[in-house]
Amino acid sequence: MKPKSNTRRSNLAHFSGHETFPLRQMWLKKVFDQSINLAFIPKSTFTDDSSIAAFGVGKNMVASIRHWALACGVMSEVNDGFCINKLAIEILKDNGLDPYAENPASAWLAHWQLAGRGFRSTTWYWLFNNVTLPSFNRQDLEEPLVKFARELDPGHRLSTATISRDLDTCLRSYAPRASSGTPEDFAEPLLGELGLLQEVYNGQYTFRRGPKTSLHDGIFTYALIDFWDRKATGQSSLAFETIAYAEGSPGRVFKLDEESIAQRLAVLSDFTTNKLEWTDSAGLRQVFRKDISQKDIENMVRRSYD
């Protein structure tokens, strides 16, 4: 839910913080409701004894909520606390665009932050950008994920157990299993509604590739520009193959097939009032861009909630 910026994905592996709880629908709103003047949250909000009563969950879940708010770009850490990001305020405030995360746009934005940017969510980024197996179980993924983590952060000897727990949490975020415990445990994970990952039978998963009817063109375009600014800075055009297949691209992160991507690119000119233009001629398929302001990008997201 963070607006476009020049911040790049951290080059350090991050496999903890969520306390093994997938992101729940109401958790980002719970964080926002603790803010002072819709803008700032003291660090003590998540550590004081009163935090359990304030959030209405146990201590470990409070830590998990803090983690997800950071990973999804709802807030950013400053010296003495956390600043709520501008776009998150517009979405989560009372009478905002989607304070209770009922619109699929909010889940798609959260997914993009986790799997497209990968801040504090290395496994999410790795799973959606590096796994190409037609079907897989957790055991299939553990060894290559451990290798990826150690290449990404060779100075930090992460335990296999930590990475395994993170992978399990990631999979349950999209394909939840039957659970027991508190009412929060029964709640559907926010990302589960996206239909990106399916458990075809016990412990065996597959990606659902193809058109995503709940993915608004505004979120797709926001993700495209964000990817462009971080991966192809200064380039005036971007090839179809890059949009569809490059690491961190909308095609990979949203698991879109070629036809679905082409259909979305075909309407870019109208959607962006010609600030992005799609061409498909002489065997060259690419998108050209003109000046796009921060206000333009925010408006794309706003239109996703119409």
In a domain, 226, yes or no: yes
Question: What residue numbers bound the domain in which 281 lies?
Answer: 217-303
Same-domain pairing of 274 and 189: no
In a domain, 67, yes or no: yes
Residue at token pair 């890059």: 242
pLDDT band at 11 (very low <50, low <70, confident <90, very high): low
- Looking up residue 281, the CATH number of its domain turns out to be 1.10.10
Question: Model confidence over 152-180: pLDDT tens digits?
Answer: 888 777 889 999 999 999 999 999 865 54
Lowest mean pLDDT among 53-62, 97-106, 280-289: 280-289
Lowest mean pLDDT among 24-33, 181-190, 226-235: 181-190
Residue 55: HSE in the Cβ half-sphere, 13 Å Cα cutoff: 28
Question: Model confidence over 96-136: pLDDT tens digits?
Answer: 999 999 999 999 999 999 999 999 999 999 999 999 999 99
Q: Find the mean pLDDT for residues 44-58.
A: 96
Same-domain pairing of 149 and 255: no
Same-domain pairing of 47 and 103: yes
Q: Find the mean pLDDT for residues 265-277.
A: 96
- Total count of domains within the chain: 2
Q: Find the mean pLDDT for residues 261-278.
A: 96
Lowest mean pLDDT among 35-44, 134-143, 219-228, 280-289: 280-289
Same-domain pairing of 247 and 159: no
**Which pair of structure tokens corresponds to residue 39?**
């803008």
Same-domain pairing of 189 and 284: no
Reported for 36-44, long-range contacts at CB under 8 A and 24+ positions apart, including other chains, are 38/84, 38/89, 38/93, 39/83, 39/84, 39/89, 40/81, 40/82, 40/83, 40/84, 41/75, 41/81, 41/82, 41/84, 42/80, 42/81, 43/80, 43/81, 43/82
Q: What is the pTM of this model?
A: 0.93
**Residue 5, pLDDT above cutoff 90:** no
pLDDT band at 300 (very low <50, low <70, confident <90, very high): very high
In a domain, 201, yes or no: no
Cβ distance 277 to 268 under 8 Å? yes
**Residue 3, pLDDT above cutoff 50:** no
In a domain, 3, yes or no: no
